[in-house]
Amino acid sequence: MKTGIELIAAERQEQIKKHKRTRGYDMIVNQNRELVMGATALISDDGKGDPDLFPFEWDDDICRKMFGKSYKQRLIIAGALIAAEIDRILPDEGTPFEEK
């Protein structure tokens, strides 16, 4: 069984490889704490989540899909979004997850 950090890291890898949500993408598209807002939306309201908190600019279908996942999976996605925000604000050296 994977640990929490392993599940979050795997989710972050999927965001990058499958969905092309790289650090470079986030530097352009998610400049105003949208990643934190998305994570908050997934785990707010005593773990039930609040779809109204998703960033306005995010795709509604993707947000509904994330919101429809189990509590555990929403925590994993939220953790990966927080990791993406941390990567986004790091100095320009990039991260181990960044695709070149």
pLDDT at position 37 is 95
d(CA 27, CA 2): 30
d(CA 55, CA 72): 21
The residue with greater pLDDT, 97 or 47, is 47
In this model, does residue 11 exceed pLDDT 60?
Answer: yes
pTM score: 0.87
Instruction: Give me the residue label for tokens 């990039």.
Output: 94
Q: Give which of 43, 78, 74, 38 is closest to 57, Cα–Cα.
A: 38
pLDDT in tens, 17-74: 999 999 999 999 999 999 999 999 999 888 777 888 899 999 989 998 998 999 999 9
pLDDT at position 22 is 96
Instruction: Give me the residue label for tokens 């994570």.
Output: 39
